[in-house]
Chains A and B, each alone.
Chain A
Amino acid sequence: MAMTEQRVSYTLDSSLETIDNAEEKATRIATELGFADDEVMQISMAVREGAVNAVLHGNAYAPDKKVTLAFERTGEDLVITIRDQGPGLDLSKIPNPLAPENLLKTSGRGIFLMRSFMDVVEIRPSQTGTELKLIKHVHGPTAGGKEASQ
């Protein structure tokens, strides 16, 4: 795929299939854009976690609510936007999963993983839904992204 500006968007149901679907689309697009294998994995996992949040926590599987997923290749970045139609995420309730008291919690790691894998993560909640923006910078062939291990 040529490195020119381009955008593609999808409107998806609030279902488990949407989560797998979003991940597959992210994997395909990141691969086509020439990201390294480990970066493709990071991007696809971040999109999966974003889709999980939109379907489960945003739209709560409501059949009348949709998830919008968009991929945009700008000059320097892959910009992925995921919007839901839920009540809006309460940013004050996002836990730190690395805090000792949260280590053994069975949930609450999705946003942390997104922040670990992407260069920029922006969360914009509103009364009509939450917009999540995930940005991965396009690196040269030897530059590589953030390492998964820190």
Chain B
Amino acid sequence: MSMKVGSRQVDGVVIVDCSGRITLGEGSVILRDTVRELLAKGNKKIVLNLQDVNYIDSSGIGELVSAFTTTKNQGGELKLLNLTKKVNDLLQITKLYTVFDVKDDEAAAVKSFK
């Protein structure tokens, strides 16, 4: 299953609902393009909802890092929401769990932006 994204606004925060696989190729490109377009339109508060992301490889991890740093470099904030166990485990072993702001409740994630 390839990756699909849909975005919605909640109290000034963009929630990007991702589903499928974030892997080398299409999945990584879709994520990259989505975050770049949001930033280009002035959206600086971004939440990636990964609830339905069932697989991610090292390229996908790299794309999450890229999305995080690109957003930060443009004065924004990017947070992760609803990690599956697989993605959670990967972020733990790569020590990225401490880098990302990870939330498990959408309302709390939205409120957490300054």
Contacts and interface: CB of A to CB of B under 8 A. Distances in A.
Interface of A: 16, 19, 41, 45, 48-49, 52, 56, 97-98, 103-107, 109-110, 112-113, 116, 148-150
B93 A149 contact: yes
B13 interface: no
A106 B99 contact: no
Interface of B: 23-25, 57-59, 61-63, 65-66, 68-69, 86, 89-90, 92-96, 99
B99 A109 contact: no
A34 to B, nearest CB: 21
A61 B99 CA distance: 33
Contacts of A104: 65, 68-69, 99
Contacts, number: 55
Contacts of A148: 86, 89-90, 92-93
Contacts of A48: 23, 57
Dominant secondary structure of chain B at its interface with chain A = helix
Contact of A149 (B59, B61, B69, B92): B92
Contact of A116 (B86, B93, B96, B99): B93
Contact of B62 (A16, A56, A109): A109
B62 A52 contact: no
B59 to A, nearest CB: 7
Contact of A113 (B25, B58, B95, B99): B58
B86 A106 contact: no
Contacts of B63: 106
Contacts of B23: 48
Contacts of B24: 16, 19, 52, 56
Nearest to B67: A106
A97 B57 CA distance: 14
B57 A49 contact: yes
